[in-house]
Amino acid sequence: MIKKSLILFVLVSFPLLSQSVDSYLSSLKSGSDSEKEQACTYLGEKGSNMAKTVVSEVIIALKTTTNSDVALACANALGYFKLNGPSTEALKERITTDKNTDVVYASLLALLNITVNNKQYEPAAKEAMEFADKNHRDDEFVADLLDKIKAQLQQLGIK
């Protein structure tokens, strides 16, 4: 029974494993929300070595989606990529416009990953953190994360 279950699992999941990056990018551009979420999750977790080639598509998806699950997956992917510049700007834009604190939380975590990896506190990241501190501190999880981010950046000497 266990062997049959394992074989069935492998057979069912094999097509997902064999999907190419191009097909995930295609899903990100024109797929359903669940396909976009899956694409961002895959690209974030597996695509760090190709981040520079896919980051613009993830940024576009983050900026254009109205689905909070897709926005969460996009923010997480950008955090995995750890590329500053346009990623930081897109995350700042999402933090300053999104009312969903889960998306704000994920975006703040992504900004932390980018900032720590690049050892540089970009102005857009600083503005996003200040905005979140002023406008989202009423959420206990965001408030806790902001305090931890400030402490970690101070400990690392990133200003």
* pLDDT beyond 60 at 9: no
pLDDT band of 10, cuts 50, 70, 90: very low
Distance CA 120, CA 105 (A): 20
**Distances from the Cα of 155 to the Cα of 58, 80, 81, 119, angstroms:** 31, 22, 23, 12
Instruction: In the chain, count H helices and then E strands.
Output: 9, 0
Cβ neighbours for 55, distance < 8 A, ≥ 6 positions apart = 78, 81, 83, 86, 87
- pLDDT, average across residues 77-90: 96
pLDDT band of 159, cuts 50, 70, 90: confident
- pLDDT, average across residues 133-153: 96
The CA-CA-CA angle for residues 80, 26, 56, to 5°, reads: 45
* pLDDT beyond 60 at 8: no
CATH class of domain segment(s) 20-156: mainly alpha
pLDDT, tens digit (0-9, with 9 covering 90-100), for 101-115 = 999 999 999 999 999
**Contact indicator for 109, 90 with CB cutoff of 8 Å:** no
End-to-end CA distance of the chain: 58
Cβ neighbours for 9, distance < 8 A, ≥ 6 positions apart = none
pLDDT, tens digit (0-9, with 9 covering 90-100), for 45-79 = 886 677 888 999 999 999 999 999 999 999 999 99
Give percent of the chain above pLDDT 70.
87
Q: How many CB atoms lie within 10 A of CB 135?
A: 14
